[in-house]
Structure 1
Amino acid sequence: MADTAADRRKFLVVVDDTPECHNAMRYAARRAAKTGSGVILLFVVAPPEFQQFAGIEAVMREEAHEEAQQVLRALATRLKADTQIDAELIVREGKPAPEILRLVAEDTAIHVLVLGAGNGSDGPGPLVSSFAGQFAATMPIPLTIVPGHLDMAQIDRIA
């Protein structure tokens, strides 16, 4: 039986506006290309904090989702040019860790979560800290953390 795109294992990459997400995306794309896997790019939008007027909240929510879609489309275009992989693009709203766990539970083809670690003085970032710490023992899939200090050639060598 041949694998279809829906049956292929997938690498889940959480993307945002940080430089380290590019490292995670490149690593996942290279691994996916080598293994015949797929890539999901997930952008988690924070819910609007301004909730006094439903109309304003709806506009803020729509703008946040559109901005997330623009970021995802740009990253997907870059990924396609580099690896010929068409990424699956997902926007969720909420807190990142619960949304990631919910997506992993919903899509059984997701086999690896790939996160980029920041290399600043404030640590690797809240997601890496959460998933390498609090959620590590209960994660249903492996976690790959791509260090933020690696350059593209280094990432290509280890992927």
Structure 2
Amino acid sequence: MNEGFETDERRAAIHTELRAWVCELAGKGGVAKIRKWMLQDREIAAVICHSQPFLLGLAGDVRETMVESCVKKWKPEADAKLNKAIGLKKIAARYSGFVRGPGAASFNKGIAANGAAGSKRDAHGDARASQPTVGIPAALLRPLTPIACRKR
């Protein structure tokens, strides 16, 4: 997210002065003035985005809302991507019960008995369905085999 808010190392002294200016204004209750200037000057926005809240004399949530404002103003394409990600996260939350699976509520003794009666072990010791079970593909009746972990 800091992409587009690059700071120039040669201007480190200026950035230190800008941080001091922000800290001084924040101490005097001048957050509105800071916000106005950061939306007019990309370098002030960069300093706010790259600095910790305690270096700016700002509360963490105040700095965070300022960074959001900077992104909206100076990087609208990044803001659109963030909003899309937030929307997708909200959609995913609605389906969390579905993702966890049906669980014990969908257990059917008849289907389980049919699968158990029709299975036998093959040469590798895997349980295989000797006949298709109604409603459940044979591949789903086979036990899962662990995947070997790769050494790093």
TM bin (shorter chain)? under 0.3
For the pair shown, the structure with the greater C-alpha radius of gyration is 2
Q: More helix by proportion, 1 or 2?
A: 2
Q: When the two structures are superposed, what TM-score results if normalisation uses the length of structure 1?
A: 0.25
Q: Which has the higher contact order (CA 8 A, sep 6+)?
A: 1
Q: More strand by proportion, 1 or 2?
A: 1
Q: When the two structures are superposed, what TM-score results if normalisation uses the length of structure 2?
A: 0.25
